[in-house]
Amino acid sequence: MKPERLGLWLGFAGVAIFALTLPMTRMAVGTPEAPLMSGVFIALGRAAVAALLSALFLLATRAPLPRRADCWPLVLTSAGVVFGFPLFTSVAMRYVQAVHASVIVGVLPLATALVGALLHRQRPSTGFWLCAGLGSVLVVGFAVLRSGAGVSLHLADALLLAAMACAAVGYAYGARLSQRMRAEHVICWALVIAWPVTLPAAWWTRPAVALPTSAWWAFAYLAVFSMWIGFFAWYRGLALGGTVRVSQVQLVQPFLSMLFAVPLLGERLDAVTLGFALAVIATVFAGRRMPVRRSPAIASPTPALETP
């Protein structure tokens, strides 16, 4: 299989795993009327569990220490996908339904492509930027339409948009690192370097009361799959197929999240939500078709991937 096609399939596998993140977070965090785990514990606790698995995996595979030049990109990757995205989404998901949040996620593919283009010094066309602007307007419009008079919903939508920005940065830098080291090692090192913060913070914010088994199963999925295994396929896919191209596989994530939320949480998928989701995805799909030129300053070939 050609590297680009393999990258797209691996990217889809990662997206399918990530699509359950919002419904599972909602299941673990509860609602304002019936709160369960705190958003801070979910974000930091799942990172702490995944860091333990990562440390064992790094030892088992005899992973080399990151090079000095890779330390800063690893810190940025960790800031985006270990701290920023989980924290913002976990706090926000107590105040919005997973179907609602799935529409906000619809802007993530284009955001990832934009950050990837800037990081790799590519030059998107005017049409690409117009699609990006239109998609953002649709997302903000949906948030305003559904926010009503509650201040908490306005804050939740802002947190979700901040989470998208963090994820885009973490994805782009992680994909760049995956061109020089194994994709599995990228997320593992990003989790391990954050362990001195996530472990004590998770212990400090742990639930003080008994919780239903379903909440703990949801937390386990977030720790093992959303925070760890999903990135194995996702970062490898971005490295093989290119960040700008493979990031567009996330087009299917809002639909998958909505479909999962209906049976898992009993939520309703109405026509307005579906219409906004289709409109956002249409703008991202149009943006993907717009030309993106590579800067002549980085015409050198991409470094070869390490052999697993």
Taking the model in full, what pTM does it have? 0.84
Distance CA(245)–CA(305), nearest Å, equals 18
70 or 281: which leads in pLDDT: 70
Query: What pLDDT, on the 0 to 100 scale, is given for residue 105?
Result: 82
Q: Which residues have a Cβ under 8 Å from the Cβ of 205 and sit 6 or more positions away? A: 38, 40, 41, 44, 45
Query: What pLDDT, on the 0 to 100 scale, is given for residue 118?
Result: 83
Q: Which residues of 145-174 are buried (b: 16+ CB within 10 A; e: fewer)?
A: ebbeeeeebeebbebbbbbbbbbbbbbbbb
pLDDT at 305 over 50: no
Query: What pLDDT, on the 0 to 100 scale, is given for residue 292?
Result: 64
Percentage of the chain with pLDDT > 90? 47
pLDDT in tens, 122-140: 677 788 778 878 888 888 7
The residue with tokens 């898992």 is 264
101 C-beta neighbours (distance < 10 Å), count: 27
Distance CA(173)–CA(78), nearest Å, equals 9
The dihedral built from the CA positions of residue 118, 119, 120 and 121, taken in this order, carries a sign that is positive
| Of 148, 36, 151, 153, nearest in space to 104 by CA | 153
The residue with tokens 């509650």 is 150
pLDDT in tens, 284-303: 778 767 776 665 544 444 44
DSSP 32: S
Helix, strand or coil, per DSSP, at residue 221: helix
Query: What pLDDT, on the 0 to 100 scale, is given for residue 295?
Result: 56
pLDDT in tens, 29-69: 988 888 899 999 999 999 999 999 999 999 999 999 999 99
Question: Which ranges of the chain would DSSP assign to H, the alpha helix?
Answer: 3-18, 21-29, 39-60, 68-78, 85-92, 98-105, 108-119, 126-147, 151-177, 183-204, 213-221, 230-241, 243-246, 253-265, 271-289
Average pLDDT over residues 72-98: 92
Residue 115 tokens, joined:
């950050």
Cβ contact 286:135 at 8 Å:
no
